[in-house]
Amino acid sequence: MAEHMSVVLGSTAIQNLMDIHGFQVLSSNFSSFLWGALMTLEITALAVAFGMVLGLLFGLLKLAQHIKITYALATIYIDFFRGTPLFVQILLLHFGILPWFGDYTTFTSAVVACTLNSGAYIAEIVRAGIQAVDHGQMEAGRSLGMNYRRTMWYIILPQAYKVVIPPLINEFIAMLKDTSLVSIIGVSELTLRGKLIYASSYEPAWVWGAVAIMYFIMTKVLALFGDYMERRLATE
């Protein structure tokens, strides 16, 4: 493979690069890094997707203050998951709580922990987004005889989503970076792959540099998507 490339390019610079041990480590483990990045994306996507469902639910419950029980439940949930480190949450869920529920994998633990964490942050995003919609909109809906639920669904939420998109993409980016913590329970995402490759190669600068760049590429793509969405929402 390395030989083939140098023949095609015929350049001594490439040839020199090929001779460096760190680069050889990276190129021979390239597919492993890619699988790791894919796993990172998978956990993030699942966590944020489920987190949005949880966040919408708990955000609404947090707003419906007159229903005391669900309000208290939502407050406890949000406060706990925002007030403790994700790292500890992962350990607690994987070793302390999920074993009660029988069969589970490290991947399941990772997704559950990240989902619950993400849901708490998204709940606050949803709450803030709904509160940003002019109060007169709820009054107008209600004055037409629509109940709270209908007004929320047809009037408030379609307007709140514009406010919610930018912080939601921030949450996506933050979660993507934080999934590196699930390496502690042995989920072979990008960081754990990096740890293993580093352990067998002793090329810290090359390996961790490559891991950092891969995280950066993923978050940058998300950030660019966020900018695009923000511009689109602004013109709407």
Partner 1 sequence: MIDVRNIHKSFGALEVLKGVSCHIAPREVVCVIGPSGSGKSTLLRCVNQLEKVNSGHIYIDGEDLTDSRVNIDTVRQQVGMVFQHFNLFPHKTTLQNITLAPIKVLGLSKSEAKERAMILLGKVGLVDKAEVCPNKLSGGQKQRVAIARALAMQPKVMLFDEPTSALDPEMVGEVLEVMRDLAHEGMTMMIVTHEMGFAREVGHRVLFMDEGVIVEEGTPARIFDAPQNPRTQLFLSKVLRA
| Interacting residues toward partner 1 by CB under 8 A | 134, 136-137, 139-147, 150, 154-155, 158-159
36 vs 141, beta carbon nearer partner 1: 141
Question: In the complex with partner 1, which residue's Cβ is closer, 137 or 170?
Answer: 137
Contact 169, 151 (CB under 8 A): no
Instruction: Give the phi and the psi of residue 102 in degrees, each rounded to 5.
Output: 80, -140
Question: CB of 218 within 8 A of CB of 176?
Answer: yes
CB 236 → partner 1: shortest distance, Å?
A: 9
> Shortest distance, CB of residue 151 to partner 1, whole angstroms?
9
Smallest distance, partner 1 to C-beta of residue 235, A:
12
Task: Locate all alpha helices (DSSP H) within the chain, ordered by sequence.
Answer: 2-9, 12-19, 21-28, 30-63, 68-83, 86-91, 106-132, 135-143, 148-151, 157-178, 190-201, 204-235
Nearest approach in angstroms of CB 150 to partner 1 is: 6
* C-beta closer to partner 1: residue 154 or 225: 154
Cα distance between residue 86 and residue 206, in whole Å: 28
Q: Give the residue with the Cβ less far from partner 1, 99 or 158.
A: 158
Extract the tokens encoding 90: 């992962």
Using alpha carbons, select from 135, 143, 179, 176 the residue that is nearest to residue 159: 135
Q: Which residues contact 203 (CB under 8 A, 6 or more apart)?
A: 21, 22, 25
Alpha carbons 115 and 83: distance in angstroms, whole number = 15
Q: How near is the Cβ of 139 to partner 1 at its closest, in Å?
A: 6
